[in-house]
Amino acid sequence: MKVSELAKRKIEVVSVLLIVHVALVVYGAAGSPKFERMGFAGFLWELYGEMTAASHQYGFFAPRVGSPTRIRLKVERPAQPAENFVLSMRSPEGHMRLGGFEDDLRNSEEPHTRRDISASLAAAQFDFVPDARTVTVSVECMDIPEMDQARQGVKPRWIQISSCTFRRKP
Amino acid sequence: MWADLHHLFGGELYRPELVAHSARLLVPRSDWLAPVLQALGLGHVAPIYLVFGGYIVALTCLLLGFLSRPAAWAALLFHVMWTASGPESNYGVDTFARIALFICAIAPTGAVFSLDARRAPMWTSERAARRGLFLLQCLLAIAYGFSGYEKALGPDWWNGESIYRAMYLDSPHMAEFLTSVPFVAVFAGWGTLALEMGWPLLVWMRPTRRPLLVATMLMHLGILLTIHLVSFCAVMILLNLTLYLYDPHGHHQQARPEHPHIDRFSEPSHCTLHNAAR
């Protein structure tokens, strides 16, 4: 077989693979159920989707724009006043990425996800503050009035949507 | 983001291993390097800075066209590693960056406009280059189409509430202004829906392509100016410009010497790449 024919055959094979990739991207974008019941094959799909972004969805600000959210931490140490602060980043890009984190906390549909993320925040605080006894992670969300309500004078306000307290193991 | 790198991706803000996700078990992360680096006496934040630094170097090589394909693969790997180290803080820009890096890794990147091409002539199939470009165009169309469709599922983009709420993310005074001119929010919402849902069809039609792309870039510019999604908007504007609006026919066509064993092509690759969009 001539070299040029080999090259053409190679391109044909690659074309098929690219079509499969596009199909996987459409499947992932449609929010189709994951291949959880397909065992190892499903696990490979999850991995491939993560490596190539084929499993990512594109519901940016959909179906509605979420409310501004902030994470408040309260760290209690023995014989010292409790430290109460709102998480923030130094850079605008860091602030943007913290917002994605806050969105996960606000929108989590699975019951354990919000608790797990709160636990991971608390664990980092326990590492950072060696003598911390308890860490309380509170998620606050801005209750934005609709445009009609805003015209009537209703103002936005911060409301707490969850609060978890974690205690350091003795 | 350098100042916040160790917070978001180095385990100082939160401990990602406590947030379960099955696929992350095998997705490369920066903390995989931790045992080796700690044995060398480096701190616990060294892995994320090493990986992110490698990412910047790989991107620079890719930009200059130096060892383009290896640089693309390296950039993809490093991007996966540092974003997987703090997945909860990832957002749309990471998705599109990964898509673009994946295409750069598998397509014949660096055949023209590169240091590699200057050092030695690179031979590549015209069809392979077209397919790489076409794939990226398809992926962008899928992204816009699904983005518009999912927005249309709820009422907020139809009645302007989403535009108004979006202003609260970074410009509360603009949100208050919109309450006095709600038709502006409604018009912007309808315009966004029409643009995104129509994108996958209109971009392939020559008469509508340029107006659509100009409107799309204006939309991203508006997002950048109002809610300051700088990185995301820059990536999207760059993708729209390079995939569709770049006109190769204004460039000098170089004559290529014929090679008996490689597919011949009569035009330089950067000219034939544009043909994929016609």
Q: Indicate yes or no: CB of B4 within 8 angstroms of CB of A60.
A: no
DSSP B137: H
Secondary structure (3-state) at B246 = coil
Looking at chain B, the whole-number percentage of residues with pLDDT higher than 70 is 84
Alpha helices per DSSP H over chain B: 5-9, 34-39, 46-64, 68-84, 92-106, 115-119, 126-152, 161-170, 172-180, 182-202, 206-227, 230-240, 269-275
Contact (CB, 8 A) for B82 and B51: yes
**How close B30 comes to chain A (CA, Å)?**
14
* B187 near A CB under 8 A: no
Size of interface A-B (CB pairs under 8 A): 196
Contact (CB, 8 A) for B220 and B244: no
CA-CA distance, A6 to A107, in Å (whole number)? Answer: 51
Residue A17, classified by CB atoms within 10 Å of its CB into exposed (0-12), middle (13-18) or buried (19+), is exposed
Check residue B169 and give its pLDDT.
84
| DSSP element (H, E) containing A12 | helix A3-29
Which of A129, A95, A117 shows the shortest CA–CA distance to B3?
A95
Q: What is the pLDDT of residues B153-182, one digit of tens each?
A: 999 999 999 999 999 888 888 899 999 999
Statement: residue B269 has pLDDT above 70: no
Peptide linkage before A81 cis (omega within 30 of 0): no
Statement: residue B212 has pLDDT above 50: yes
Chain B segment 206-265 residues within 8 A of A by beta carbon are: 228-231, 261-263
Q: Indicate yes or no: CB of A29 within 8 angstroms of CB of B143.
A: yes
Triad B144, A60, B149: Cα angle to 5°: 50
**Under 8 Å CB-to-CB from B254, ≥6 apart: which residues?**
B268
**Under 8 Å CB-to-CB from B145, ≥6 apart: which residues?**
B196, B197, B199, B200
Residue by residue, DSSP assigns A86-112 as E---SSHHHHHHHHHHHHHHHH--SHH
CA-CA distance, B221 to A20, in Å (whole number)? Answer: 34
* B75 near A CB under 8 A: no
**Under 8 Å CB-to-CB from B188, ≥6 apart: which residues?**
B160, B163
Contact (CB, 8 A) for B213 and B240: yes
Average pLDDT over residues B221-243: 90
Check residue B246 and give its pLDDT.
63
Q: What is the pLDDT of residues B23-82, one digit of tens each?
A: 566 788 888 888 888 888 887 788 889 999 999 999 999 999 999 999 999 999 999 998
Looking at chain B, the whole-number percentage of residues with pLDDT higher than 90 is 47
Check residue B273 and give its pLDDT.
35
List, edge to edge, every strand of the sheet that includes A83-86: A83-86, A69-76, A134-143, A157-167
**Under 8 Å CB-to-CB from B221, ≥6 apart: which residues?**
B233, B237
Residue among A11, A49, A124 whose CB faces B125 most closely: A11
Statement: residue B278 has pLDDT above 70: no
* B162 near A CB under 8 A: yes
Check residue B113 and give its pLDDT.
78
Average pLDDT over residues B233-237: 93
Residue A57, classified by CB atoms within 10 Å of its CB into exposed (0-12), middle (13-18) or buried (19+), is middle
Best probe of the B interface among A97, A104, A114, A116, by most B CBs < 10 A, is A97
* B62 near A CB under 8 A: no
Average pLDDT over residues B13-17: 80
Chain B residues with beta carbon closer than 8 angstroms to that of A29: 142-143, 146
Structure tokens at B93: 């820009």
Mean residue pLDDT across chain B = 82
Residue among B12, B20, B161 whose CB faces A116 most closely: B20
Name the β-bridge partners of A157: A143
Chain B segment 103-142 residues within 8 A of A by beta carbon are: 125, 127-128, 131, 135, 138-139, 142
The confidence band for B11, taking pLDDT boundaries of 50, 70 and 90, is: confident
Chain A residues with beta carbon closer than 8 angstroms to that of B147: 58-60, 62
Statement: residue B226 has pLDDT above 50: yes
Q: Which residues of chain A have pLDDT under 70?
A: 1-3, 32-38, 111
Q: What is the residue type of B99?
A: I
Q: What is the pLDDT of residues B124-146, one digit of tens each?
A: 667 777 888 889 999 999 999 99
Give B251's Cβ-side CA count (13 Å radius). Answer: 16
Average pLDDT over residues B172-199: 93
Q: What is the largest CA-CA distance in chain A?
A: 83
Check residue B265 and give its pLDDT.
38
